[in-house]
Amino acid sequence: MSTVKMKWALITGASSGIGRAFAQELASKKFNIVLVSRNQSELKLLSMDLEKKYNIKTYIISKDLSLLTSSQEIYTELNQEGIDVDWLINNAGFAIYGKYHLTDIKANQEQMILNMVSLASMTQLFLKPMISRGEGVIINVGSTASYQPVPYMAIYGASKSFVRSFSEALWAEYKDSGVQFLTLNPGPVETKFFERVNASEASVGKRDTPENTVKTAMKALEKKQISIISGPHSNFILSNLGRFLPQSVLVSITEKVMRPRT
């Protein structure tokens, strides 16, 4: 009697926010879930909840993706466990707010590694076996910050521009391979992201929910879209202002919006 092999989805930044919402959504569709985050205690609680509620398997990896070695370590561990990743959701990321010369250089380096280097490495490592199998899904979480430079969060905006450009290039490169790429570009979302940023100026506009953000991504996947801006329609409008304004005007407006108020 044949059995259907359940697919595995790997989600980074899975302990809260958008990552957690992806875990809930995919578990409800009977995916087994690899949960990756630094917060092992939160991962354990989420793991128990998913297994009990949806009768699926989970696998926990407590790893800091702001370290250069982490991506390879995750890939090697899963290979040793015999887990083939069918869906990869590169969701982990963070931002630092403030005048650039006053921010911490080590934290800025970690931000670049996490937001860009680890995302690109995870994509490359897990893409190869997907190509061999002729199927797979990779969702890279960008931001509406990718559509213009972001004063006081210069590295974050630039890193998300990298994510969008990188992911859209791969969408075209592999569109006939059976592997589907999607860039998800949320505006402000009600997550712990803003706790770490610790600046109200960084949250512009109405915050969406993680659950709605994930549902938007799933609908975009069904339509085989290259990328999607989630949240209120105002996110789409603001993200496309650069098409109509000179860059100096656009960045000056953004600077006034993002300028520290204290």
Enzyme catalytic residues: 156
CA distance 76 to 63: 13
Cα radius of gyration rounded to whole Å, the chain: 18
| DSSP per position, 35-46 | EEES-HHHHHHH
Return the percent helix, strand and coil in the chain, to nearest 5.
55, 15, 30
**Neighbour count for residue 6 (Cβ, 10 Å):** 11
- List Cα–Cα distances, 192 to 19, 129, 209, 212, 218, in angstroms: 11, 33, 12, 16, 22
In angstroms, the Cα distances linking 52 to 29, 58, 168, 228, 236 are 14, 11, 37, 32, 38
